[in-house]
Structures are given as structure tokens and as C-alpha cells.
Amino acid sequence: MINSRHELLYFYILCTFLVFVNLAMSNDGQITFVFLVLLLILMISQYRRSMVYLKQLKRYDEVAQLIQEKNDYSNIRPLVIEQEEIVGVQYNQLMRFIHQQEFRNQRNMQILSIITNNIQDPIVILNIYGELEYANNRFKEWVNMTALKKLSFYDVKNEPIRKILEDALICEKTRKKQLEINHKYYSSVAHPIFDDQGEFNGVVVLFHDISDLKKYENLQKEFFSNASHELKTPISAIKGCSEILLNGGLNDKSVCEEFLTIIQTENLRMERLVKDLLLINRYEHDQIKHQTQQLEMNQLLNDCINQVQTISNLKQQTIQFEESEQYFVEGDYTKLQHCFLNLLTNAIHYSPNDTIIKVTLKETQQFIETCIIDHGIGIPADDIPHIFERFYRVDKARSRHTGGTGLGLSIVASIIEAHQGRIQVQSELDKGSCFTVKLPKFSK
């Protein structure tokens, strides 16, 4: 049996040679006919064999189409040529390689998706045509997109985001920009992607939420502005009084006493301001060591009420302390005393004469709650979220008149936070306020 093209070629040459020899040496047509029949048989056999090869190759085309349409990497029977599985073996090896690469790509995309979807910052990848190849869930939610198929950056409706994506593609280099979206600030960083030949192949854009940083910067600016303003007032008063005294005021005893009193008052005011600022700074950097111990809240509040009783008596105010049993917390007595003295003093200053200030104490599942309730001027709803900020004053004129620095409630909040507690306020304008302090119960 002829099994290779070389054997077939040799046989064709031999038959052709014999036909010509026969034609040259004799006129016997029978021998020539036999050779022609043999050639015909060989041609038919070769044709059938070629059809088998073509059918197998057609099967390769069908499998290739399945791979393209359905990712079906089914192996097919190898094609036997010259006793060697040449085409089929190589084809199956190629399919296995492609399948492995496809598996690796899918796995890498899964890993990328898991990592990026657990990042709160929006991330998007664009190809050189401006199509969104990948975006994490945060970016999809951000731009209200549910799918990325055949989407271009032109489909992004938010104009600031669209301009940043367009700029990242045009420039083909690292770009940093800031933008504001829905009252929040973001910093965008675009990193170009280059292939092994150094050709531009797309861009990765990361967005980072810097709203807290912006808020901190604004608070810092506001803090320096307020601190400068607070210090400027007593400094100006001291400077003015000193100039008057130096320009002849020392000769008048009554004038001298008056301006020296003002200097002393303003100096004390500056001293309180600096002490409060240093205290807040130490709380923020955890530089204050608390002498924690078991405290009886009833005794602590009674001590604070006794200390402010003189001030309340001057305004004919009554402080009622409602207590039913003893309650214990763990904390620093001096710091908590400072906290409740501040709250009680505020209640007295901002309440009219002949009013009642109530102090209540109760126990919940996790906390001991202390409520200080007054019937004073109250706090406007717009001001409530800001009253624990440094230097914030609802009534600036009245606060300065009472000698406040605008840091009292900020210090109170820092003390309560340092004790793992909470402070809340409910208030209605011209009806009064209720400050609630929640401190963790003492655990034996």
C-alpha cells in the first residue's frame, strides 16, 4: 500500500517510464491499457484521500468558529499525514495554548476586579480608541453605568469627568487634576499605558476622594483666621490702654486703675485662649494621660452644680438635679468635671432670669446618659452641626460679652470622645436646648 507522497511520485515515474518503453518497443495496446488503468486507480485513490484531508480541514474551520463565537476549545482528531500526526497535533497544541492564555486572562481579570472593586476610589481603563475597557463598580455607580460594552468616554454624561478622560487620551502622559462632583472634591491621576515597543496603548485613570483633605484645609484656614482675630482683640485693647497710660494717663489715678484693669482682663482672656488651644491640640494628638477611675456620676454632677450655684443665683435661676439611684462610669474626674462645668455654665449664661435648668441622669444598655436641659435662647437649626467646631459662636457678641473663647464646646467634645463617649444636642430657637452626654458604664 502506498502511504506517502514520495512513494506515489516514484510509482508515477515508473509507470510513465514503462508506458513510454512499451510504446517505443512494441505496439501491444493491452499492456498500455493496463498501465493506464493502474494510473486511473491511483488517481481515484489519491482523490479520495485528499477529500478525507479536506473534510478534516473543514472540521478545523468549524472548531475555530466555535472558539471565536462560544469559546469552545474542544479537541479534534489529529490529521494523519505520512504516518505522522502533523497538522492535528500542532493544532491541538495551539488550542491548548490559546485556552491556557484565555484562562490566565480571565483569572487576571477576576483578580483585578476583586482588587479594584474593594477600593472605594473610582478606576477606569481606556484603550487608544477611547473605549472603556474596564471600570470598577465605584466608577460605574459614579457615572450611572451598568455595562461597559462598546462604550466610549463620549458616553459619560458628566462633563468634568468626560474632559479628564479626553485630556488623558490626548496628552499621552501622566496628568493630575482636581474636580468637584456632587459637592465632593476628587483628585484624578491619569497614567498612560505603553506596549513593549513603546507605543501608546491606552490609559488608566484613578480618582481619589480628597473631600476630607479639602475640609481640613478649610478648617485650618478658618482656624488661623479665627485665632488671629481672637488674639487681635485683646492685643489691640492692651496696646491702646498702654499708649494712653504712657501719654499721660499715669498721672490720673482713676484712669490708671481703669486701664490697668482692662489690661489685666484682656491678658487673662488671652491666657485662657492660649490654654484652651494647647488643650485641644493635646487632645487631638493623644498627649493627655487620663487618670481613670471608678466615678459616681451623682457625686460628680452635684460637685459641678455646687460650683456654678453662685452664678445661677445671680440670675435667680434654679438648677434641679433629678436622680433616682447611683450610677458609675470609668473616667478622669478632673476632665469630666471640666466638661460638665462648661455645659452648666453655658446653660446659665444663655438662659434668662427666673428659669429652671434641669439635670437628669439615667442608665441605658451601654451608657450612662446625662441630660442638661435649659429654657434659654436655643440654637438655630443651621448652627447645630457646627457648635462643636473651634471658635464657632452662634451669638458672637454675647459670647464675647460672657468672656468665652469659642473653644468651650470643642473641648467638651474632645473630652467626651477621649472617654469613648458621645455628645448630642437638641435645640429649638427661643425655647431652649438639651445637651446629652453618653459615657460608657463602669465595667467591674
Each residue's pLDDT tens digit, 159-198: 888 888 888 888 888 888 888 877 788 888 888 888 878 8
One domain, residues 70 and 134? no
SS3 assignment, position 83: coil
Strand 200-209 and strand 175-181: the pairing is unpaired
172 and 239 fall within a common domain? no
For residues 304 and 53, the model is more confident at: 304
**Same domain, residue pair 392 and 367:** yes
For 371-408, what is each residue's pLDDT tens digit?
999 988 888 888 888 888 776 666 654 444 455 556 77
**Does any domain span residue 113?**
no
Are 235 and 319 part of one and the same domain?
A: no
| One domain for residues 374 and 427 | yes
Termini Cα distance of the chain: 100
Q: How far apart are CA 46 and CA 80, in angstroms?
A: 14
Grid cell for residue 101: 492564555
CA dihedral 324, 328, 333, 339 (to 10 degrees): -60
Most confident of 230-234, 283-287, 402-406: 230-234
Q: Under DSSP, is residue 377 helix (H, G, I), strand (E, B) or coil?
A: coil
pLDDT of amino acid 68: 65
Cα–Cα distance, 394 to 406 (Å, whole number):
9
What local confidence, expressed as pLDDT, does residue 112 receive? Answer: 67
pLDDT at residue number 373: 92
Task: State phi, psi for 111 to the nearest 5 degrees.
Answer: -65, -45
Which helix (H) or strand (E) covers residue 38, if one does? helix 29-70
For the chain, give the mean pLDDT. Answer: 76
Q: Is the pLDDT of residue 14 over 80?
A: no
* Residue 264 maps to a domain: yes
Measured CA to CA in angstroms, residue 223 lies from 231, 257, 288 at distances of 12, 35, 22
The torsion angles phi and psi of 278, rounded to 5 degrees, stand at: -65, -35
Percent of the chain with pLDDT over 90: 8
Same domain, 402 and 277: no
Q: Which domain holds residue 88?
A: 5-101
**CATH code of the domain in which 251 resides:** 1.10.287.130
Kindly report the backbone phi and psi dihedral angles of residue 160, in degrees, each rounded to the nearest multiple of 5, phi listed first.
Answer: -60, -40
Please tell me whether residues 338 and 409 are part of one structural domain: yes
Counting the structural domains of the chain, the total is 4
Instruction: Report helix angle 333-349 to 297-314, nearest 10.
Output: 30
- Alpha helices by DSSP H, listed for 322-442, are 333-349, 396-401, 408-418
pLDDT recorded at residue 437:
93
DSSP 382: T
Choose between 317 and 51: higher pLDDT: 317
CATH code, domain carrying 179: 3.30.450.20
pLDDT on residue 7 = 57
Domain closes at, from 160, 193, 209: 209
- Report whether pLDDT(81) > 60: no
The answer as to whether 114 is a domain residue is no
Give the highest mean pLDDT range of 82-86, 124-128, 352-356: 352-356
Q: Let me know whether 232 and 336 are in one domain.
A: no
The whole-angstrom separation of Cα 161 and Cα 215 is 22
